[in-house]
């Protein structure tokens, strides 16, 4: 099964020539997995790869990720807000104190009014500046945001629909663009994307060619002078096909590729390229649909059985060690993994027994369709990985799996729809990879309140034990109480699995030895500021 590589008819050499006729000495050229350049209005599409390269480097939030260390999962740090706290009188309200002296790339100041303008852009459909595409992404990542107001010129209050100890982990996904960008474009978001739009980040947008390339330029006037980029320019090139990325790196046409083909890693190392990996909060699953009319996944025995049918170690071997087996949303090494009753391993006998108890036997085999993408943010190598899964489940447990292969953004659109939506074309499971970084992500993927369009609980899973544990987590007043509730919530994700847990990615990248200063953060996002080229 293969999906055509679409580059608007351009060969790789022509694509690079069109993107950049002259490469400066301090230019870093990166081949992304995306099939297109992420959108450039200030809230990029293409999932977290869009945020990685066209989000945080240019457009910042009140809260940011600390991506400076490789030895621990990324934590939060102050961004456009110097500090924040829950209102002592109302724990549903968070107060953000804005950083002073920050300007957008167009020279206009960051003010409380600019923050409110951006919140209206995402959360107020009748505002003149409402941007449907960016709003859909931002609202899905902030499903509990209920209101906001300016307290004074340097302070903004944001209210949530429920008490949420983790709200800063959602606020990190609300990016700020200059209101002047929209005015300059004649109040037309389609034109904003080609201006380019102005953010506040260490890089600013340069030339933009849809489906071809986009460049990021150093922002010498960045508000944190200790974090002015060392590079003059970063050139981003969409290359969804892994072998195309590999050829570009080997020929010297790019300096850095996301997700090299695993079977090429030994030869890349032998040729002097750096292979960079690190554990990070990323799970690559199949998500079960429990709410549809024709789904087989309402029976927990089917979901548990499938989790015992997967030869995860075999898949890791196929990926040349660039992943690790997944037996839950969190990794077993995570202190909040808990002590679930089920510890999934490759046990076909147990898997088949559970399927048989649910009514699926060799005479009546389990059969279903999974919607998958050909590439995309965090998707690793979805075609060969899913072909492996198809063969594994057939041979181990007699399960018949077919695929609906689509483009990454189409898959993202599908998982924001209800069950049996026409876009799914009969699929009752989907394969978008997921962050597993914090309780804020857990909320929007698994709480019953966040079925689409309110969040990412596409499978419409609900579990009373999970709901109760999560309620305790949301109102926890100390770290010990929070962690106890978090572990209990995760135990329910394992024992009443809404997903088929397959692998955790190790975030592989291949780079020229000329690339210096990169730290592989334990995060979906990475810091380009300290990177150097000779």
Is residue 193, in this structure, part of any structural domain at all?
no
Q: Domain boundary residue among 113, 147, 179?
A: 179
Asked if residue 300 and residue 220 are part of one domain, the reply reads: no
Is residue 295, in this structure, part of any structural domain at all?
yes
CATH of the domain at 138: 3.90.76.10
Asked if residue 452 and residue 368 are part of one domain, the reply reads: yes
CATH of the domain at 236: 3.40.190.10
Domain count, the chain: 3
Determine which of 14-18, 53-57, 246-250, 413-417 has the lowest per-residue pLDDT on average. 14-18
Q: Nearest-CA neighbor of 426 among 294, 514, 521, 329?
A: 294
Q: What span, in angstroms and rounded, lies between the C-alpha atoms of 305 and 280?
A: 27
CATH of the domain at 474: 3.10.105.10
Q: What is the pLDDT of residues 381-395, one digit of tens each?
A: 999 999 999 999 999
H-run or E-run covering 430: strand 429-430
Handedness of CA 228, 232, 237, 242 (dihedral sign): negative
Residue at token pair 């380009």: 528
Asked if residue 411 and residue 486 are part of one domain, the reply reads: yes
Q: What span, in angstroms and rounded, lies between the C-alpha atoms of 61 and 221?
A: 18
Asked if residue 381 and residue 491 are part of one domain, the reply reads: yes
Phi, psi of 158 (to 5 degrees): -125, 130
Q: Domain boundary residue among 127, 147, 179?
A: 179
Asked if residue 340 and residue 294 are part of one domain, the reply reads: yes
CB 175 within 8 A of CB 199: yes
According to DSSP, the β-strands at 233-238 and 400-406 are unpaired
Asked if residue 524 and residue 495 are part of one domain, the reply reads: no
Asked if residue 272 and residue 230 are part of one domain, the reply reads: yes
CB 214 within 8 A of CB 41: no
Asked if residue 427 and residue 342 are part of one domain, the reply reads: yes
Asked if residue 111 and residue 48 are part of one domain, the reply reads: no
Asked if residue 17 and residue 135 are part of one domain, the reply reads: no
| Mean of pLDDT values over 103-130 | 98
Asked if residue 476 and residue 518 are part of one domain, the reply reads: no
At residue 13 the predicted structure's pLDDT band, cuts being 50, 70 and 90, is: low
* Enclosing domain of residue 523: 13-58+201-280+508-534
Is residue 65, in this structure, part of any structural domain at all?
no
Residue 32 has pLDDT above 70, yes or no: yes
Is residue 85, in this structure, part of any structural domain at all?
yes
Residue 241 has pLDDT above 70, yes or no: yes
Q: Domain boundary residue among 146, 179, 212?
A: 179
Handedness of CA 479, 484, 490, 492 (dihedral sign): negative
Is residue 242, in this structure, part of any structural domain at all?
yes
Asked if residue 371 and residue 304 are part of one domain, the reply reads: yes
Residue 464 has pLDDT above 70, yes or no: yes
Q: What is the pLDDT of residues 388-432, one digit of tens each?
A: 999 999 999 999 999 999 999 899 999 999 998 999 999 999 999
Phi, psi of 371 (to 5 degrees): -85, 125
Q: What is the pLDDT of residues 297-346, one digit of tens each?
A: 999 999 999 999 999 999 999 999 999 999 999 999 898 999 999 999 99
Is residue 191, in this structure, part of any structural domain at all?
no
357 vs 376 pLDDT, higher one: 357
Phi, psi of 143 (to 5 degrees): -70, -10
Is residue 8, in this structure, part of any structural domain at all?
no
Is residue 195, in this structure, part of any structural domain at all?
no
Q: What is the pLDDT of residues 248-280, one digit of tens each?
A: 999 999 999 999 999 999 999 999 999 999 999
DSSP class of residue 532 equals B
Residue 1 has pLDDT above 80, yes or no: no
Q: State the pLDDT at residue 8.
A: 37
CB 154 within 8 A of CB 97: yes
């Amino acid at each position: 099964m293969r999906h055509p590589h679409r580059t608007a008819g351009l060969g790789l050499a022509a694509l690079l020539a069109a993107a950049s006729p002259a490469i400066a000495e301090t230019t870093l050229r990166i081949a992304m997995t995306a099939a297109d350049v992420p959108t450039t209005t200030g809230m990029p599409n293409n999932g977290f790869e869009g945020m990685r390269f066209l989000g945080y480097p240019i457009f910042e939030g009140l809260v940011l990720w600390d991506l400076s260390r490789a030895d621990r999962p990324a934590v939060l740090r102050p961004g456009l807000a110097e500090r924040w706290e829950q209102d002592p009188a109302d724990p549903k309200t968070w107060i953000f104190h804005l950083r002073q002296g920050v300007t957008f790339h167009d020279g206009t100041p960051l003010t409380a009014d600019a923050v409110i303008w951006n919140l209206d852009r995402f959360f107020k459909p009748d505002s003149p500046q409402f941007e449907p595409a960016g709003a859909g992404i931002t609202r899905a990542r902030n499903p509990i945001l209920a209101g906001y107001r300016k307290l004074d010129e340097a302070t903004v209050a944001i209210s949530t629909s429920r008490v949420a100890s983790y709200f800063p982990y959602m606020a990190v996904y609300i990016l700020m663009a200059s209101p002047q960008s929209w005015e300059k474009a004649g109040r037309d978001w389609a034109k904003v994307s080609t201006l380019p739009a102005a953010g506040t980040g260490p890089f600013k947008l340069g030339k933009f060619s849809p489906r071809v390339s986009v460049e990021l330029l150093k922002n010498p006037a960045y508000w944190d002078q200790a974090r002015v980029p060392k590079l003059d320019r970063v050139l981003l090139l969409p290359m969804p096909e892994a072998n195309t990325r590999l050829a570009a790196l080997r020929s010297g046409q790019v300096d850095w590729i996301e997700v090299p083909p695993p079977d090429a890693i030994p030869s890349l190392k032998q040729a002097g390229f750096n292979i960079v990996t690190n554990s990070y909060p990323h799970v690559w699953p199949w998500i079960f649909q429990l709410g549809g009319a024709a789904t087989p996944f309402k029976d927990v025995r089917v979901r548990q059985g499938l989790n015992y049918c997967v030869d995860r170690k075999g898949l890791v071997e196929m990926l040349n060690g660039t992943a690790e087996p997944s037996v839950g949303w969190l990794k077993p090494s995570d202190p909040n993994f808990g002590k679930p009753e089920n510890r999934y391993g490759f046990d076909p006998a147990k898997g088949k027994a559970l399927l048989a108890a649910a009514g699926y036997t060799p005479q009546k085999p389990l059969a279903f369709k999974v919607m998958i993408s050909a590439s995309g943010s965090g998707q690793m190598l979805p075609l060969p990985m899913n072909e492996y899964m198809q063969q594994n489940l057939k041979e181990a447990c007699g399960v018949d799996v077919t695929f609906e292969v689509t483009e990454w953004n189409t898959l993202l659109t599908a998982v924001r729809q209800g069950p049996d939506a026409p876009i799914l074309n009969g699929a009752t499971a989907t394969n978008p990879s997921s962050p597993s970084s914090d309780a804020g992500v857990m909320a929007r993927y698994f709480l019953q309140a966040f079925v689409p369009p309110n969040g990412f609980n596409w499978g419409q899973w609900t579990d009373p034990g999970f709901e109760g544990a999560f309620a305790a987590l949301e109102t926890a007043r100390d770290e010990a109480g929070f962690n106890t509730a978090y572990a209990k919530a995760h135990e329910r994700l394992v024992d009443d699995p809404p997903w088929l847990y397959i692998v955790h990615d190790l975030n592989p990248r291949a780079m020229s030895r000329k690339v210096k200063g990169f730290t592989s953060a334990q995060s979906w996002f990475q810091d380009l500021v300290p990177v150097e080229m000779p």
